[in-house]
Amino acid sequence: MLEIGTKAESRIPSAEHTMAADSTDRRIDKLIHLLVKNATVVVPGPKIASEIGVTRLKVWQWIERLRSLGVQIRGVTGEGYQLVTVPEILAPSLLRADLGDHPMARNIIHYFRTDSTNAVAMKLAAEGAPHGTVVVAEEQTAGRGRLGHVWYSEKSNGIYASILLRPPLSPAAAPVLTLMAGLAAQKAVSSATGLMADIRWPNDLLVNEKKVCGILTEMTAELDCLHAVVLGIGINVNHSLMPAELENIATSLRMEAHRSISRVQVLVALLRELERHYQLLLKSGNRAITERWEAVSSFAHGKRIRVATASGEALVTTTGIDPSGALKVQYDDGRRESLVAGEVMEVK
């Protein structure tokens, strides 16, 4: 279930905010903020340029870049620029407008395009980035899935986010952190869209039996100490169709809700729910998470599944989640086991 980093890193996390190479220029975020703040008026190009500290040519280039991502900006010759609609871009300033001083809004690092937000977050973790660092991208060129799969990361239509946690817990808590992330994602999807997703162990979200969200947990640890956990969360939000090879097993929130969905609202809800469930885990312990997980997943009890593990495939029936986060199953010959890793598929 866990993808464990190969190197145990032992740096003490620094409190200062870490910047990542090639991340979005903070002045683009300022540009977005300025346009949003002045949404009712045309903002002159020279005013934008002087307020964010770049040339007018740069302003024009960045406006073009935002337009290429679907942000509607009206250009009035000789006058300036005006936002037509609220931008659907996961810019830190837009997320912070909703989140304020939320613990998960203090160090948001945005990319227009990166290979994998998990790869970036793991690197930042090794460099000492603080708890609560969020890496988010409009597009991934090498999105990583569980068990070596690739995560389809269509530009501007999905949420590709990695959240760095530094839990005061032992590596044994990692499976429960994984369940916690699924629970938080499920709550976020339902509060932002009204869709009730099922959770397939350990943490795939399914709507109408197709996957809308996958979570890859990676970590660096020593024997008795977790240094960093990266929760990599991919949500199919506004895809209007899935590629042929995925269409039978994956869907998007938009395809299920039959309307376009605000990625900003879903991500804001996700960060809030993650913090809420993380605090619940720290204060009330594993059972608070596993019991809630059992209450909202149809996979917890009595589900006939095919499970693929390193030792092969088997048909089993689920009998609950144990306090460590493992999936309890019963084989047809009556044997019982707790699974800590594996790929689960429902059998009808």
Q: Is the dihedral of CA 260, 263, 268, 272 positive or negative?
A: positive
Can you tell me which of 126, 145, 190, 317 binds ligand BTN, judged by CB under 6 A? Answer: 145
Query: Binder to ligand BTN among 234, 250, 254, 261 (CB under 6 A)?
Result: 234
Shortest Å distance, C-beta 214 to ligand BTN: 2
Least distance in angstroms from the C-beta of 75 to ligand BTN: 33
Using rule CB under 6 A, residue 254 touches ligand BTN: no
Q: What would the x/- binding string for ligand BTN be over residues 59 to 98, using CB under 6 A? A: ----------------------------------------
Q: Of these, 5, 175, 214, 325, which contacts ligand BTN (CB under 6 A)? A: 214
The rounded distance, in Å, linking the Cα atoms of 180 and 135 is 19
| Residue 131 near residue 166, CB atoms below 8 Å | yes
Q: Does a cis peptide bond (omega within 30 degrees of 0) precede residue 202?
A: yes
User: Nearest distance from residue 270's CB to ligand BTN, in Å?
Assistant: 12
CB nearer to ligand BTN: pick between 62 and 160: 160
Residue 160 makes CB contacts below 8 A (sequence gap 6+) with: 117, 136, 137, 138, 139, 140, 143, 151, 153, 233, 234
Handedness of CA 79, 85, 90, 91 (dihedral sign): positive
Report the residue closest to ligand BTN, judged by CB: 214
Which ranges in the chain belong to alpha helices (H)?
26-37, 45-52, 56-68, 92-99, 117-126, 174-193, 253-257, 263-284, 286-296
* Among the listed residues 132, 232, 325, 342, the single contact to ligand BTN using CB under 6 A: 232
CB of 216 to ligand BTN, least distance (A): 4
82-88's contacts with Cβ under 8 Å and 24+ in sequence apart are 82/35, 82/38, 82/39, 82/41, 82/42, 82/43, 83/35, 83/36, 83/39, 86/36, 86/39, 87/32, 87/35, 87/36, 88/156, 88/238, 88/262, 88/263, 88/264
- Binding ligand BTN (rule: CB under 6 A), the pick from 143, 182, 202, 342 is 143
Judged by CB under 6 A, how many residues of this single chain contact ligand BTN? 20
| Cα angle value 69/194/206 (rounded, 5°) | 80
Q: Per CB under 6 A, does 204 bind ligand BTN?
A: yes
- Binning the chain into helix, strand and coil, the percentages to the nearest 5 are 35, 30, 40
- ∠ Cα 96 99 105 (to 5°): 65
106-125 positions binding ligand BTN, by CB under 6 A = 116-118
> If binding is defined by CB under 6 A, does position 200 make contact with ligand BTN?
no
For ligand BTN, the closer CB: 31 or 159: 159
Which one of 146, 187, 200, 210 is in contact with ligand BTN (CB under 6 A)? 146
Q: Which of the stretches 103-111, 123-131, 141-149, 285-293 binds ligand BTN when contact is defined by CB under 6 A?
A: 141-149
| Interface mask toward ligand BTN for 149-188; x: CB under 6 A | x-x--------xxx--------------------------
Scanning 86-94, 103-111, 142-150, 260-268 for contacts with ligand BTN by CB under 6 A, the matching segment is 142-150
- The amino acid present at 177, given as its one-letter code, is L
For ligand BTN, the closer of residues 80 and 133 by Cβ is 133
Binding site for ligand BTN (CB under 6 A): 116-118, 140, 143-146, 149, 151, 160-162, 204, 214-216, 232-234
